[in-house]
Amino acid sequence: MTPAARRAAAPAPARAATHRPAGGPRRGGLLWHRDFRLLWAGQTASAIGSNVTTVALPLVAVSVLDAGTLQVAVLTAAAWLPWLLIGLPAGAWVDQLPRRPLMVGCDLISAALFVSIPVAAALDLLTVGHLLAVALGAGVARVFFETADQVYLPVLLRPDQLPEGNAKLQATQTASYVLGPGLAGLVAQLAGAVTALLLDALSFLVSAACLLRIRATEPPPARPAGAPSLRRQIADGLTFVARDPYLRVLTGYGAASNIGLVGYQAVLVVFLVRTVELPPGLVGAVVGAMSVGGVLGALLATTVSRRVGSARALLLAAALTGPPALFVPLARPGAGLLWPVLGGLLVSLGVAVGNVVKGAFRQAYTPHHLLGRVTVSMHLLNYGMIPLAALLAGTFGAALGPRTAIWLMTGWLAASPLLLLIGPLRRRRDLPAAPAYRPAHLPAEPVAPGR
């Protein structure tokens, strides 16, 4: 959001008091913010571990348990299915719970789940069902962690710091897309794919330790007298998204693009191993190289948004996310590997820019006492499409072959940016600073001290 847009808009609702240094901005920005550094470090470690698992878990299924294309796709579906099953009530619960203890608990549960895989393998008890149970359990923990994280960041940072905070988090998240698969391929090559999953368990423990060291005191979640029922709280989040012209279109586009994006990624490892016939180490290298653009996109997102406008930055990001994906199914051994690397690089660049701009917009735009519910209402459709996309891609892969499945999924992804032209984005330079709609029965958000 540009300074001019903020001055022209009505004042944003007050946010909860935060722990922040006195005085104006310092050179280095949030690098001087101790609590943000801890949050950033923990999430970086966790992101690297999670992206090790993105490659290592399918490799375990394929190389250790000889799983088929559909079974590998079902693993991806299981990891995202909890967004459909518990996403909406989770958002309402997160709005009423202390977020940091909840996030620490999710980290510890996830660590225990991923440790169980090497233990089961050592005892010769590992099965595809075990992998599915771990993917599903870790997915439940992820629903609560990611929702709480979205609500917790505005507690640590002022609204004007959110774009920088989101950009830094997105930069390391996308850097983990490069480092994680590379580590997974290297460890799988040297010590086996099962061993690589221990890195993910360790990363969750690092994340928990960093969260526990944060000093900021989180204000207790607002629990007004006569609070509405869980059903009404869920409805408030859904209604807010459905009636807002910006959030509504962004949600629809996110769902459509995820069908193609996650669809081709769900069968990518099988495609590279069995169709292109790459060894595990090279699979990790290719998947990592495909994500290099995300690092650049996260670093440039705030600058691009400021220079061209936040609404235009989203349209530009969508254009990069769509058509370049058609390079991925052109993969061949040798020099032909440049095609998926180029396509993945451009796609990850667009995804990173879009995620930074959209994340900062949602956090600053949404009333804070609705943020958890609004976040999961959007994720319900965005992430809820992921298990369906994975199953669809797996079915196509089993029936038609992995390459054809990737062609179908990337073709869908290439067309999805057209959805952003339906709403008001195409007529604006910048996204608005505050919503025009607020549920009539909700009280105004209380003004917190120190803001």
Distance CA 15, CA 369 (A): 9
Are 436 and 298 in contact, with CB atoms under 8 Å apart? Answer: no
DSSP string, 169-238: HHHHHHHHHHHHHHHHHHHHHHH-HHHHHHHHHHHHHHHHHHHHT--PPPPPPP--TTPPPHHHHHHHHH
Token look-up 């789940």 returns 113
Q: Which SS3 state, helix, strand or coil, does residue 341 take?
A: helix
Question: Domain ranges in the chain?
Answer: 33-218+231-427
Token pair, residue 369, equals 């006492």
Question: How does pLDDT run along the chain (451 residues), one tens digit per residue?
Answer: 333 333 333 333 333 333 444 344 555 578 888 899 999 998 888 888 887 887 788 888 888 888 888 888 888 888 888 888 887 787 778 877 888 899 999 999 999 999 999 999 999 999 999 999 999 999 899 889 888 887 888 888 887 887 788 778 877 776 776 677 767 777 877 777 788 888 889 989 999 999 999 988 777 766 555 556 667 777 777 888 888 889 999 999 999 999 999 889 888 988 998 899 888 778 878 887 887 887 788 788 888 998 999 999 999 999 999 999 999 999 999 899 999 999 999 998 998 899 888 888 887 788 877 777 787 778 777 877 888 888 899 899 989 999 999 999 999 999 999 999 888 888 899 988 777 665 554 544 443 333 3
Q: What is the largest CA-CA distance in the chain?
A: 66
Distance CA 95, CA 144 (A): 11
Q: What is the CA radius of gyration of the chain?
A: 21
- Where residue 86 falls (left for φ over 0; alpha for ψ -120 to 50; beta otherwise) is alpha
Report which DSSP code applies to 347.
H
From 239, 203, 200, select the one nearest 45 (Cα to Cα): 203
pLDDT on residue 17: 38
Distance CA 57, CA 197 (A): 7
Are 428 and 311 in contact, with CB atoms under 8 Å apart? Answer: yes
Q: Does the domain formed by 33-218+231-427 have CATH 3.40.50.720?
A: no
